Structure 1
Amino acid sequence: MMTIYFFPYIYMFIIGLIVFVMDRKHLLSMLLSLEMIVLSLFIFLIVFLNFMGYQEFFSMVFLTFSVCEGALGLSILVSMIRTHGNDYFQTFSILQC
C-alpha cells in the first residue's frame, strides 16, 4: 500500500534525471531540471514522513538547503551571462578562465 503513494514522485525524479543528463546545452535548463529533482525529493520526503508518523522538521531543513542551492545556481547563471554573454556550455573554455 505504501508504494502507491510513491510512484508519481519516483517518476518525477526519473524524468528530472533524464532531462538533466540529456539536455546539457543551456545552464538554465539544467538548473530547472535540478529544481524538479529537488521538488520531487521534497514531496517524497513529506509523504514518507507523514506515512511513518514522524515530525516534518527535517523537511524544513531540506527545503532550506534546496533554496540555498537554487540561489547559488542563479547567481552562477547571472555571473556567467555577465562575463560570457550567454549560457551555452560550448562557448566556455577552461583555458579562458
Structure 2
Amino acid sequence: MNLLFFSYMYMYIIGLLSLCLVHKHLLMCLLSLEFIILSLFLLLYYYLMSFGFEFYFLLIFLTFSVCEGVLGLSVLVSLIRSHGNDYLISFNLVMC
C-alpha cells in the first residue's frame, strides 16, 4: 500500500468522526458530508489511477456529489426560512 492511500483513508475517517461529533448544526453536518465525499473522490481517483482504468466514473461520481450538495443547501435554506435557525434539536419531526 501507498502512503497516499493511507492519507486518503485518514481523511475519510476524520470526516466520519467529525460527522458523528458535530451534530448540532445542519450546516456543519453538510460540511462534514462534503469532506467525506471529497475523500471518497480522492480514494476513487487513486484506485482508478493505480489500476489504469478510465476516469468516466469520476465524472458521474462528481455529478451525483454536486447534486447531493445542492440538495443539502436547498434543504438548509428552506429550514432556515421556516424555523429561523439551523439547530437540529429545534426541528420537531413528529409534527407533520
TM-score with structure 2 setting the length: 0.95
Mark the runs of 5 or more structure 2 residues left unpaired by the alignment: none
2:39 is the alignment partner of 1:7: no
Alignment deviations for residues 4-25 of structure 1 (CA, whole Å, 9 cap, x no partner): 2201110100000001011110
Offset of 1:94 from its aligned partner? 2.0
Alignment deviations for residues 29-80 of structure 1 (CA, whole Å, 9 cap, x no partner): 0000000000000011111101000010101110100000000000000000
Q: Distance in 2 between matches of 1:53 and 1:96?
A: 52
Q: Return the letter of the residue paired with 2:70.
A: A
Two-structure CA RMSD over aligned residues (Å): 1.0
Mark the runs of 5 or more structure 1 residues left unpaired by the alignment: none
Between the two proteins, what is the percent identity of the paired residues? 55
TM-score with structure 1 setting the length: 0.94
Q: Distance in 2 between matches of 1:45 and 1:95?
A: 39
Q: Distance in 2 between matches of 1:65 and 1:18?
A: 23
Alignment of 1:52-71 (within 5 A): 52-71=51-70
Which residue does the alignment assign to 2:91?
Answer: 92
Q: Distance in 1 between matches of 2:92 and 2:76?
A: 16
